[in-house]
Amino acid sequence: MVNIRISMNEKYLEQICMDIFYAGQIADAEHKKELFGDQFVPELLIMKKSKVKIEIRERENNHKSPHIHISHSDKFDVSLSLPDFSVLAGSIDSKTKKYIMNVLMPKKNQLMKIWTEVNVNGNPRKAEVLIDALGLKK
């Protein structure tokens, strides 16, 4: 009888986890729709550490120069220029920016190649291979 209860509890917990996961997916999709309307903007995740996400987006109209997007749930959302890591839009606290620059500055050339594959060559599949080679997604 105990094994059945554990099994039922595990299934219940698994269902709760799946419900939370899908609710997060729906919330992300709604947030993107608020930001971009019906225009779909593909994102390529470069790195995720704790709640900080770094990504390159495809076909954006806001900034044409090479850049990355960094977000932390509701705390900040910023676009940084890849050539010099200056802020193009949004804001970010100095501690997080310093950390990100320490991680990404040595990989600047690879990030430029990824941005070019996505936004110039239109090849997000190759960009994904380059992103995996960065070794930042853990």
Q: What percent of the chain has pLDDT over 90?
A: 11
Host domain of residue 8 = 1-37
What's the sign of the alpha-carbon dihedral 30, 35, 40, 44?
A: negative
Same domain, 24 and 88: no
pLDDT of the chain, 138 residues: tens digit per residue: 445 565 777 888 888 888 887 787 777 667 656 654 554 444 567 777 777 788 888 766 555 789 988 888 777 888 899 999 999 888 888 888 888 888 889 999 999 999 998 888 888 888 888 888 888 876
List, as one string, the DSSP characters of 50-62: TTEEEEEESS-SS
> Does 62 lie in the same domain as 25?
no
Q: Are residue 45 and residue 31 in the same domain, yes or no?
A: no
The reply to whether 57 and 102 lie within a common domain is: yes
Q: Are residues 45 and 5 in the same domain?
A: no
DSSP state letter for 121: S
14 and 57 share one domain: no
Same domain, 32 and 80: no
Q: Do 55 and 100 reside in the same domain of the chain?
A: yes
- Let me know if 117 is exposed, middle or buried by CB neighbors in 10 A (0-12, 13-18, 19+): buried
CA distance 122 to 96: 30
Please count the structural domains in the chain: 2
Q: Are residues 121 and 84 in the same domain?
A: yes
Statement to judge: residues 28 and 71 lie in one domain: no
pTM for the full predicted model: 0.63
Same domain, 45 and 59: yes
Same domain membership, residue 109 and residue 67: yes
